[in-house]
Amino acid sequence: MPAPANSAVFTVPFEDNRVSGAPTYLESQVLSQADKYEALTSTLDGKFIIASTAFNKEGTSENPGLDVLNTLVYWPASAPGQARVMSPSTRGGITSSRDLREKIVTAIDSYGRQAQGTPSPATSYFQVEALTTAPDGTLLMGIRKYGKDSKTATFSFLLLSVPLIEHEGGLELGNTFKVVLNLTPDELARRLSLPDGSLPELGLSGMEFDRHNKDRFYAVTSFETGDVIGGYLWMLPLDNGIIGPPQPVSGKDAMPVKFANKPEGVEVLDQHHVLVVHDDDRVKVKLAQSAGVREDYEFNYSVITIP
């Protein structure tokens, strides 16, 4: 993992479904200024990489430092030094995408009013954890938690869609976000149908379009309760442009595949392999292949074979 002085964004060689070398850090002032990256994807043609921070806090006009947590950034795949902030605005010398906050909140609250039929508490807090491009020319942004504030926010599997316009030399977003899917932890737990029926609250933690099979997305959810962590892999069918409800990916025993680590990212490697990257935070999970535990500077990953 990166040393404190390095960029938070890096690449690693990956061959035969294994990491095969040391990381190469992507150096860019724009990439270095943004903080708390939570999601990363690429355009379907592979020309641009897009990354999002958490958007879970915001600065003020007097102290705009936390605006760096509200950044959507993109760069040509072969030129990270040309990284730019998407939907940029600047205050106090800090350029970020904080103006997207109002559009995201408006979409969530408008959906809530339509779904419930009655006014609901205004959303002031949300946390972005997933990002993927879609074949209909949109960018999907996944929300792990949202609510009135950070203490009362509830976990979710909420997907927002916004047009993504690719023009010569760059990308820009459309003006309107809309909710295309919203599931609660209880709804997710019922889909798992685990024998004991008990499950900590699940929240969305990563998602990616399957550009090889072209008929599905894969997503990961995770939970963290004290020192107990884990998560699941899901497949979301795509039929005539409509995203279907997530279905848990099951193993040979017909039970949903459960990770002992905390999944935070997912990538589709080819038609039959999905990569899941874990971030266990402060929890020290014992490594299955040895008597040791993961160190602070290490991460675990899984490669799942899909028949």
CA distance linking residue 183 with residue 60, whole number of Å: 32
| Cα–Cα distance measured from residue 96 to residue 33, given in angstroms and rounded to the nearest whole number | 9
Tokens of 33: 């200024």
218-257 pLDDT per residue, tens: 999 999 888 889 999 999 999 999 999 999 999 999 999 9
Mean per-residue pLDDT over the chain, rounded: 92
For residue 283, what pLDDT band results from cuts at 50, 70 and 90?
A: confident
pLDDT single digits (tens) 45-82: 999 999 999 999 999 999 999 999 999 999 999 999 99
Q: Does 287 have pLDDT greater than 70? A: no
The answer to whether residue 132 scores a pLDDT higher than 80 is: yes
Would 215 be classed as within a structural domain? yes
Assess if residue 24 is contained within a domain: no
Give the mean model confidence (pLDDT) for residues 262-268: 96
Q: What DSSP line would sit under 223-267, residue for residue? A: EEETTEEEEEEEEEEEETTEEPPPEE-B-TTSSBPEESS-EEEEE
Residue 290 is predicted with a pLDDT of 58
> DSSP state, 71?
-
CA 35/CA 65 separation, integer angstroms: 10
In a domain, 161, yes or no: yes
- Give the SS3 label for residue 266: strand
Query: Other CB atoms closer than 10 Å to residue 207's CB: what's the count?
Result: 26
> How far, CA to CA in Å, does 139 sit from each of 33, 42, 44, 102, 203?
23, 10, 11, 17, 20
Number of structural domains (the chain) is 1
pLDDT, tens digit, for every residue of 156-169? 999 999 999 998 87
- Report whether 144 contacts 156 (CB < 8 A): yes
The predicted pLDDT at position 79 comes to 95
Whether the CB-CB separation of 71 and 52 falls below 8 Å is answered with: yes
| 294 — pLDDT class (breaks 50, 70, 90) | confident
The CATH number for 242's domain is 2.120.10
The reply to whether 218 falls in a domain is yes
Q: Name the strand (E) or helix (H) holding 258.
A: strand 258-259
8 belongs to a structural domain = no
In a domain, 300, yes or no: yes
Q: What domain range includes position 47?
A: 37-75+88-305
pLDDT at 247: 96
Which pair of structure tokens corresponds to residue 192?
């798992």
Q: Spell out the alpha helix ranges (H) of 117-184.
A: none
Say how far apart CA 214 and CA 210 lie, in whole Å. Answer: 5
Q: What is the mean pLDDT of residues 144-150?
A: 95
Measure CA of the first residue to CA of the last residue in the chain; give whole Å. Answer: 32
Question: pLDDT at position 97, please?
Answer: 98
Measured CA to CA, the distance from residue 268 to residue 233 in angstroms comes to 12
Res. 269 pLDDT band, cuts 50 70 90? very high
Q: How many helices (H) and strands (E) does the chain have?
A: 3, 24
- pLDDT > 90 fraction of the chain, expressed in percent and rounded: 75
Task: Pinpoint the alpha helices (H) of the chain.
Answer: 29-33, 100-116, 185-192
Does residue 284 sit within a domain? yes
Can you tell me whether residue 254 is helix, strand or coil?
coil
Is residue 32 in some structural domain? no
The span from the CA of 170 to the CA of 84, in Å, is 9
Query: What are the φ/ψ torsions at residue 139 (nearest 5 degrees)?
Result: -105, 130
Does the structure show a pLDDT above 70 at 289? no
What single-letter amino acid sits at 2?
A: P
Read off the pLDDT of residues 75-119 as tens digits, 9 standing for 90 and up: 999 999 999 999 999 999 999 999 999 999 999 999 988 876 655
For residues 109, 112, 118, 124, the Cα torsion angle rounded to the nearest 10 degrees is -40
pLDDT value at position 240? 93
Confidence band (pLDDT; 50, 70, 90) for 292? confident
Compute the distance between CA of residue 205 and CA of residue 264 in angstroms, rounded to an integer: 5
